[in-house]
Amino acid sequence: MATDHWAALAAAVAGSRKGTRGCDDAVAVEQWRHGRSVWLIAACGDGAGSASAGAVGSQVAVAAAVAACREALESRSQRTARRDRGLDGAAVVQAAKQAVVAAAQARELPVRELATTLTCLVAGPGWTWIVQVGDGAAALWPQRARPGAWQIALWPARGEYANSTHFLSDDRVQWSERTMARAGAVALLTDGLLPLGLDLARQQAFSPFFEGLSAELRRAQPQQLLVHLQAFLASPRVAERTDDDVSLILAVRKSPGPRKATGHGDGHAAA
C-alpha cells in the first residue's frame, strides 16, 4: 500500500469581463504511483485574452505538460526517482510548446492565436519541482515548516510592457524552474487569483488565503468541497478583486491510497 497520497481540488471559472466567450484557463491534476510512493502532477495555464484560441492553447499545453511529467517519472526506477531532485524543465516546456504548435497547425492558425502561460508542478516523496512560463504562480507549504508558512516557488514573470507576460507561443520561450523541499500542501493559480493569493507589495505568499482553503481540504473529502470551491471562485469576494478568469489547484498530502482527476476550461476536478 502507498505510504501517502494527495487530496486535490481543481477548478477554473470565467471572469466577469469575458461575457459569452467562456474561460481561457485550464487545469489538470493527477497522481502517479510507483511502488509505495505517490507523486502529484499538476498544471494550469491561462490562454491569452488577445488570442482567438487561447482556451485551446491552455488546454493543450496543460495536458501535454502533465503527460511529459508522467512519462519522465515512468522512465525512472523508483530509487532514481526518489534520489533525483526534479525533472528536466526544458523537456517539459518543449513538449508543451510542440503540442500548442501542432494544435495551431491543425486549425490553420498562427501559433500566437493559441498563446498561453503554463505552470507545472510535481510533488514527490522528498522534493517538489516547479516549472513556469508566464505570470501564474505555484505556492507550497514545506511539510517541516511551521503551520501556515506558505512559500511562492517562482514569482510570476511579467513581460516588457505593462500587463504583459511570456507565453509558450513566443519564438524564444522564457521559462524558469525550481526544486524545493517535500511539501505537505501545494497550490497552483493563474494570474487572475494573484491579488488574493499573493502579497504583491512584499512579493510573498498571502498565507491565510492558502491555509484557510487547505485546512478545509484536510478535514473533508474533495468531492464535498468542489462545489464550494467553484462558488468561491465565482463569488463577489473574488469578483471585487479581479474580473479575469480564475483558476486554482489545491492539494494536501494524506494517506492512504491514490485517486486521480483532471479538468479544464469552465470545468473542474477533484482527486
Q: Which carries the bigger pLDDT value, residue 83 or residue 63?
A: 63
In this model, does residue 159 exceed pLDDT 70?
no
CA distance 248 to 193: 8
Domains, the chain, ordered by start: 5-270 (3.60.40.10)
User: Residues near 46 by Cβ (< 8 Å), separated by ≥ 6?
Assistant: 24, 25, 54, 58, 116, 117, 134, 135, 136, 190, 191, 192, 245, 247
In this model, does residue 160 exceed pLDDT 70?
no
pLDDT digits (tens, 9 = 90+) for 191-231: 999 999 999 889 999 999 999 899 889 888 887 888 889 99
Q: Which carries the bigger pLDDT value, residue 259 or residue 180?
A: 180
Helices (H), 47-88: 54-74, 78-83
CA distance 156 to 204: 11
CA distance 219 to 31: 20
Instruction: Write down the pLDDT at residue 260.
Output: 45
Residue 263 — very low, low, confident or very high, per pLDDT cuts 50/70/90?
Answer: very low
Whole-structure pTM value = 0.88
To the nearest whole number, what is the mean pLDDT of the chain? 88
> What type of residue is 119?
T
Q: And the C-alpha cell for 66?
A: 502533465
CA distance 220 to 241: 27
User: Residues near 193 by Cβ (< 8 Å), separated by ≥ 6?
Assistant: 233, 238, 242, 246, 247, 248
pLDDT digits (tens, 9 = 90+) for 11-67: 999 987 765 578 999 999 999 988 778 999 999 999 998 999 999 999 999 999 999
Q: And the C-alpha cell for 253?
A: 498530502
Residue that the C-alpha cell 507549504 belongs to: 141
Burial 8-44 (b: 16+ CB within 10 A, else e): bbbbbbbbeeeeeeebbbbbbbbbbebeebbbbbbbb
CA distance 217 to 271: 11
Helices (H), the chain: 54-74, 78-83, 89-106, 194-197, 207-219, 222-233, 236-239
